[in-house]
A = this chain, B = another copy of it.
Amino acid sequence: MTGTEQSTTPQPATPPAAYTPTDRTVPARGAQKASYDRELVHSILDQGYVCHLGFVRDGAPVVLPTLYGRVGETLYVHGSTGSRPLRMTGRADPGLAVCLTVTHVDALILARSAFHHSINYRSVVVHGTAHEVTDPQERRVALDALVDHVVPGRSEDSRPANAKEFAATAVIRLDLHEVSAKIRTGGVNDEPEDLALHHWAGVVPLRKGYDTPIPDPDLAPATELPDYLKTL
């Protein structure tokens, strides 16, 4: 928004550019890598497909991979109404304590020293309380977000959930309040006295992107590959 822009309609409050650090989101070590920048957090979340959702069951941790979607400052996770974490959320009052983590591995870092081997990565960790979404309109928005998270724009080019499917799907929400990102970028950080060693050192980037889409064998005649898949 520019300084000269004018608006006569009420605008939603602009959230601050960063999340407020808390005891849980300031790492005991490696704090120099932590970031609370909202745009960075959103970009890491939006580029992932699967999050790892942690919760406590009978006193022990459980970490499950699951799809997710983001709408503004809210993450949505869905699943069968019979699945354990979703049942637990529904039962839990006032909600279920969760930790939701999204990680991208970007490159392998091969140092001359074993100690300095590492990876380049980007991760977001969200702490909070998950609540079951019961409002039908918010549930629709959440399910669209989950489909659009797989491929942006896809929810408009698919048959919406019918009443039976809608009833069989539980949705939980987790607001983005207690959030941090961690990132490692760049190259090798060897000790100066190791630089003369004749071990190869460098960065091995992991390939990103998509291979050619494979059409379903039962595709209706004359169904073309949509543009949003050509530009993925």
Contact = CB atoms under 8 A, between A and B. Distances in A.
A180 to B, nearest CB: 11
Interface in A83-127: 83-84, 87, 97-101, 103, 105, 108, 110-115, 117-119, 121, 123, 125, 127
Given A56-B56, A199-B157, A147 B114 contact: yes
Q: Which of A80, A119, A202 has the most CB of B within 10 A?
A: A202
A40 interface: no
Given A97-B59, A150-B119, A158-B112, A211 B206 contact: yes
Given A210-B207, A215-B201, A82 B158 contact: no
Nearest to A193: B159
A1 interface: no
B97 A161 contact: no
Contact of A98 (B61, B117, B146): B61
B127 A114 contact: no
Given A29-B80, A229-B200, A114 B97 contact: no
A84 B200 contact: no
* Range for the number of chain A residues in contact with chain B: 35 or more
Q: Which of A65, A144, A208 has the most CB of B within 10 A?
A: A65
Given A63-B101, A200-B219, 19 more contacts: A24-B60, A28-B82, A28-B87, A49-B105, A55-B61, A56-B59, A56-B61, A60-B127, A61-B61, A62-B125, A62-B127, A110-B151, A110-B213, A112-B159, A115-B161, A202-B214, A204-B232, A206-B211, A207-B207
Interface of A: 24, 27-30, 49-50, 52-57, 59-65, 67, 79-80, 82-84, 87, 97-101, 103, 105, 108, 110-115, 117-119, 121, 123, 125, 127, 143-144, 146-147, 150-151, 154-155, 157-162, 165, 169, 187-188, 190, 194-220, 222-226, 229, 232
